[in-house]
């Protein structure tokens, strides 16, 4: 990211840089183009919000951390770009799994 | 804003002045016109409400502050104008991230 | 309002007299006829209900007061007339901001 | 109501006798036939239920009383007749205001 | 009901024998065939469930009793027959009023 | 069920063997093919889950027991077969009544 | 799974390897192709998330365990592949039963 810009996600939001297609193939994991199931996306966590305020006032911190590779549901992420790099802002509940 | 008028957002509402298209390009961050994802908008926080009353009666204050630049989901904001300046009134939950 | 009639809103309901078009222009604030955003309406608070009963039995009083000018979401208000004067009955949650 | 029949509303239900069109005009209040807004109805409260049981077991009594004239949202009331008199059974949450 | 069969409603369910058309007319109460409103149905309570388990674990007993005549919303009751007699299984929340 | 296979329902799920059409007629109870109402189904409870975890952490056990004949709403049960025998997996909330 | 990749499900998510068609037939259990009911799927649990955070902050652990064969509702699982092996990421609430 350019050093003049920093995107700080709020609440339960997570900032993710989606993986390029070839990086997926290299690791052995890929997302098949099937019609019968939902297709998640893979990406790198860049920043996370502080968490969601629960009904009783407690702050529930976000479970994923900066630097982790995650699979997330492709439903409805917001997209921004800084130069050529695409970023997605997604809700934590749409993150399905961590890839290690 | 004209000094004869002041818009005070209520509850979890935030008053935002949406950014002009060229100011976005200058900072390096922009919102691509892609069909596959949602496109957020960028704007300057002008005023915030007192917060939302939680189920147990506590007031949950709004996290963003006057003067911050934010990315917000473009879903359903209400729009007013004072002279030539457009203002949007949005719910805090539609604010995705702070831009620094 | 005729002195033979008084409309007392219940619970979280607010009775509002919507502003005439020219009074909006005079104050400098107006609501543009744009297709891309929602268009709120402006009006004068005439009377407010006692508030909403929260889950734990407390009464949460209404934040706006008689005599304030407000912006409200135009979604679904009920309308009545007394003589020539139109009145709208709206839920407090649809009031977006106070105009001062 | 015939003395052989009594309709006792349950829970948060209210039994209302809807006003005849001419009684509305007489009091100065009427409901305009506009397309842009919802049109409430006016009626006389005949009987009320005991109230709704809240999440914590308390009984929340109904705010309106027998004999009051009310404005109510026309959405989905159930209708019965005793002889020529029409009665509507509505939820308290659909009662908007008391007319005095 | 045949003595070889007993239908015991569960939870907040109520077993009702819907009234024949002529029994309605006799009592003076009837349900008009109007298009503008919902049309409830009338019936006799045959058996009731134990009640609903509230969020805090308490059992909230059903308010109507065996032998009462009730008006109920015609939305979605399940229907069974024992011999020629039709029975409906409805949720308590769809019972609008008791007829006395 | 074959002795090599056992289906253990989870949470609030109930495993039911739906009744054959002729067994219904024999008991005097049947489900009429009417268009105006919902048609429940009848079946034998084969196994039940441990119950649902309530909001406060308590386990709410399932009310029906293995061996009971039940009426259940036909909305959306999942179906499996072991040999020729059909089994349905349904949520407890879709069980309407016990037949005795 | 390749030893270079590990998929760790988050929260209430469960990673499942769906069964091949012939393994189903062998055990005697199969899922009929009927139009009137929902068709669940069968699979092997590979990994489970930590559980869901309840309203009061407690962690509710997932009931199924690695190595169990489960029936799950086919509604909306996300799908990934590692080499030739298909994996599904599903919510615990969509798991209907354990097969033993």
- Encode chain F (100 residues) as per-residue pLDDT tens digits: 445 789 999 999 999 999 876 455 556 777 777 656 778 899 999 999 999 877 767 788 999 999 999 999 877 788 888 888 889 999 999 999 999 8
On average, the pLDDT of chain A sits at: 84
**Tens-place pLDDT, residues C20-78:** 764 555 567 777 776 567 788 999 999 999 998 777 677 889 999 999 999 998 777 88
Tens digit of each residue's pLDDT (9 = 90 or more) over G60-80: 899 999 999 999 987 778 888
CATH hierarchy code of domain A13-28+38-99: 2.30.33.40
Q: What pLDDT band is residue C1 in, cutting at 50, 70 and 90?
A: very low
pLDDT band at D2 (very low <50, low <70, confident <90, very high): very low
For chain G, what are the domain ranges?
Answer: 13-99
Q: What does the alpha-carbon distance between residue G85 and residue G92 come to, in Å, rounded to a whole number? A: 21
E17 CB burial (10 A radius; 0-12, 13-18, 19+): middle
Residue E99 token pair: 């007829």
What is the model's pLDDT at position A34? 65
Chains in touch with B (3+ beta-carbon pairs under 8 Å) read: A, C
pLDDT at E11: 93
Most confident of A78-92, B20-34, E34-48: A78-92
Report the range out of A3-12, A48-57, A88-97, E81-90 with the highest average pLDDT: A88-97
Helix or strand holding residue B14 (H, E): strand B13-18
**Which tens digits make up the pLDDT trace of D17-50?**
998 764 555 567 777 776 567 788 999 999 999 9
3-state secondary structure of A53: strand
Instruction: Please give the structure tokens belonging to residue G13.
Output: 């998510």
Task: Round to whole Å and give the CA distance between E31 and E40.
Answer: 7
Does A89 contact chain B (CB < 8 Å)?
yes
A98 and G8 within 8 Å at the Cβ level: the answer is yes
DSSP F19-80: PPHHHHHHHTEE----SSSB--EEEEEEEE-S-EEPTTS-EE--SS-TT-EEEE--SS-EEE
Cα(B82)–Cα(B6) distance, integer angstroms: 10
Q: What is the mean pLDDT of residues G20-27?
A: 58
B54 touches chain C (CB under 8 A): no
Q: Is C76 on the interface with D (CB under 8 A)?
A: yes
Average pLDDT rounded to a whole number, residues C84-100: 92
Q: With 70 as the cut, is the pLDDT of residue G23 above it?
A: no
Output the pLDDT for position B18: 92
Residue A80 confidence (pLDDT): 87
Cα of F12 to nearest chain G Cα, Å:
9
Residue G14 confidence (pLDDT) above 90: yes
- Chains in contact with A, where contact means 3 or more Cβ–Cβ distances below 8 Å, are B, G
Is it the case that residue B35 has pLDDT exceeding 70?
A: no
Is residue G4 predicted with pLDDT exceeding 80? no
Q: Over pLDDT 90: what percentage of chain D?
A: 47
Q: Residues G13-99: name the CATH superfamily.
A: GroES chaperonin (2.30.33.40)
Helix, coil or strand: residue A27: helix
Span E14-22, mean pLDDT? Answer: 83
User: Which chain A residue is nearest to residue G85, measuring alpha carbons?
Assistant: A29
Neighbours of F2 (CB within 10 A): 11
CATH T-level assignment (fold) for domain E13-25+37-99: 10 Kd Chaperonin, Protein Cpn10; Chain O (2.30.33)
Per-residue confidence (pLDDT) for residue E15, from 0 to 100 = 96
Model confidence at A75: pLDDT above 90: no
Give the Cα separation of B40 and D58 in Å (integer): 44
Confidence (pLDDT) at E2:
47
Superfamily assignment of B19-27+39-99 in CATH?
A: GroES chaperonin (2.30.33.40)
State the DSSP H helix or E strand holding residue E60, giving kind and residue range, or none if neither.
strand E59-60
Residue-averaged pLDDT of chain E: 84
């Amino acid at each position: 990211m350019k050093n003049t810009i920093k995107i700080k996600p709020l609440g339960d939001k997570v900032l993710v840089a989606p993986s390029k297609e070839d990086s997926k193939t290299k690791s052995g994991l890929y997302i098949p183009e099937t019609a019968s199931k939902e297709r998640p996306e893979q990406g790198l966590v860049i920043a996370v919000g502080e968490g969601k305020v629960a009904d009783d006032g407690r702050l529930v911190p976000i479970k994923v951390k900066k630097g982790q590779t995650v699979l997330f549901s492709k439903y409805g992420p917001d997209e921004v770009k800084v130069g050529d790099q695409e970023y997605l802002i997604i809700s934590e509940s749409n993150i399905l799994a961590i890839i290690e």
